Amino acid sequence: MNPRILLIDDEKSITDSLIRFLEFEGYKADGINDPLKAMELIEKTNYMVIISDISMPGKNGIELLTEIKKYNGMIQVIMITGFVTMDNILSCLREGASDCLFKPLDLEQFRDAVEEAVGKIKKWEKILKWLQKGKKGKY
């Protein structure tokens, strides 16, 4: 089963279109357009993949990325931006983003980034289940 995905972007048209795309690809996805309310939703729902815009009013995506990673370091966060700077990209990497994509989004690249993030989650879940069974040694 695929993990639930949350899209965070202040532009409703972007969250709506990406949700439709992800649902077409077989994922369950939700969207929120207010970054100030995002953490509350993240804490209530078990999202393991989050896609967030960087430039948003009230709270930028890098601040949100930092909060998300402090809350749960296993959550895979994909950053998207139409405002590409070296500082933004380096900040995303430093704070633990799994990927950073540029708007306008190439949907094939977007799908690949989501599949990679989901793959990481599934791998970690498999390892944790194996360890919970009391296994030791080589995985």
pLDDT of residue 62: 97
Could you tell me which of 44, 49, 58 has the C-alpha nearest to residue 110? 49
Sequence-ordered list of residues with C-beta below 8 angstroms from that of 39, at least 6 positions apart, any chain: 64, 67, 68, 71
pLDDT of residue 34: 98
* Structure token pair of residue 31: 């969207």
* Structure token pair of residue 118: 């989901």
**Edge-to-edge order in the sheet of strand 99-102:** 29-32, 4-8, 47-53, 76-81, 99-102
User: Phi, psi (5° rounding) for residue 51?
Assistant: -115, 120
pLDDT of residue 137: 65
* Structure token pair of residue 124: 């970690």
Contact 13, 31 (CB under 8 A): no
- 15-19, 24-28, 51-55, 129-133, range with the lowest pLDDT: 129-133
pLDDT band at 39 (very low <50, low <70, confident <90, very high): very high
Contact 51, 5 (CB under 8 A): yes
Let me know if 61 is exposed, middle or buried by CB neighbors in 10 A (0-12, 13-18, 19+).
buried
pLDDT at 139 over 70: no
The CATH superfamily assigned to 4-132 is Response regulator (3.40.50.2300)
Give the tens place of pLDDT for each residue, 81-126: 998 899 999 999 999 999 999 999 999 999 999 999 999 999 998 9
pTM value is 0.92
- Per-domain residue ranges of the chain: 4-132
User: Phi, psi (5° rounding) for residue 129?
Assistant: -65, -40
Tell me the average pLDDT of the chain: 95
Residue type for position 122: K
3-state class (DSSP) for residue 23: helix
pLDDT of residue 130: 87
